[in-house]
Chains A and B, each alone.
Chain A
Amino acid sequence: MEDLEGKKILVIQTHGVDTPTRTYSPVYYAIAAAAMEMEVMIWFTMNGTNQLRKGEAEKIELKPGSGVTLKTLLDQALDAGVQLSVCQQSMDLWDMKPEDLIDGVKILGATSIIDLALEADHVMYF
């Protein structure tokens, strides 16, 4: 296993609760990268934004009966040190206010994501 400490990964998630099967893997990869000591951010934009509304991620179960929900994974990501960020403009698209977001999410504008994409060692786009 290579030493990847300090490398930066940016995960861009554009899928949300309307397409549940597309929500898990990006979060899972982010947690894996954090476990490998990388600096990881997930950027939620477009439909991806809606999974950050309080109460939504709990409704998405990875596998029926497993008891593991999308919220479980988002919490694991935060525990692992993954930065969760959301696009300010797309929050408006979903009529979301800062107080509607789950705890621990940072709100950033479009120029920030461009900076972050340039700074990252790798960008994963979903």
Chain B
Amino acid sequence: MSDVGIVRGCKIPRDLYYSVEDHTWVRTNADGTVTVGMTDVAQNLAGPVLHAKVKKVGLTRAKGKPIGTVESAKWVGPIKTPVSGEIVAVNEKLADDPQLLNRDPYGDGWVVKMKPTDWDAEVKALVTGEEAVQKYKEKVEREDIKACDHIE
């Protein structure tokens, strides 16, 4: 099985954890922190991102609170953190090149790194692997979300 699931052209890497409802992903790091970003489906819904503002290092956020905001020509909204914790790093590159969110949502387009405060409990609300791909498939079909465009 490939490491990346494809749902209507949108990439869903199987090694990440997802909050499908909020279109965010989480990657666990060796140092106990987690990296958080928005999914390929999210960047596609937003369209080319014109501005991204990210909260500051040191701020503690409860699950569901914004860690930043994203603006495109047709949409503006929060990126909600799928885990509670302290922001320990922010992706400074997004300020100058917000379309990293479109081009590489799971790589250079990461949003923040956090030190989770309740990971063991909160991970239970997230989905990963094939379950994540299936949940995303259900969501895009239910909401008839358009197929992913990838800008270069």
Contacts and interface: CB of A to CB of B under 8 A. Distances in A.
B78 A3 contact: no
Interface residues of B, number: 16
- Secondary structure at chain B's binding surface: helix, strand, loop or mixed? strand
Interface string A22-55: 0000001001100111000000000000000000
A35 B77 CA distance: 5
B65 A37 contact: yes
Interface in B70-87: 71, 73-78
Interface stretch (B16-24, B53-61, B101-109, B132-140): B53-61
A66 B66 CA distance: 28
Contacts of A32: 69, 71, 76
Q: Which of B54, B56, B69 gathers most chain A CB within 10 Å?
A: B69
A31 B46 CA distance: 14
Contact of A35 (B54, B66, B73): B66
A76 B72 CA distance: 14
Contacts of B73: 63
Contacts of B69: 1, 32, 35-36
Contact of B76 (A1, A31, A37, A62): A31
B55 A3 contact: yes
Contacts of B54: 1
A66 B77 contact: no
Contact of A66 (B55, B56, B65, B74): B74
Interface residues of A, number: 15
Interface string B81-96: 0000000000000000
A31 B53 CA distance: 15
Contacts of A1: 53-56, 68-69
Contact of B74 (A35, A36, A68, A80): A68
A37 B66 contact: yes
Contacts of A63: 73
A3 B59 contact: yes
B56 to A, nearest CB: 7
Nearest to B74: A68
Q: Sorted from nearest, which 6 A-B pairs have the closest CB atoms?
A: A35-B78, A1-B53, A35-B69, A32-B76, A68-B74, A35-B77
Interface of B: 53-56, 59, 65-66, 68-69, 71, 73-78
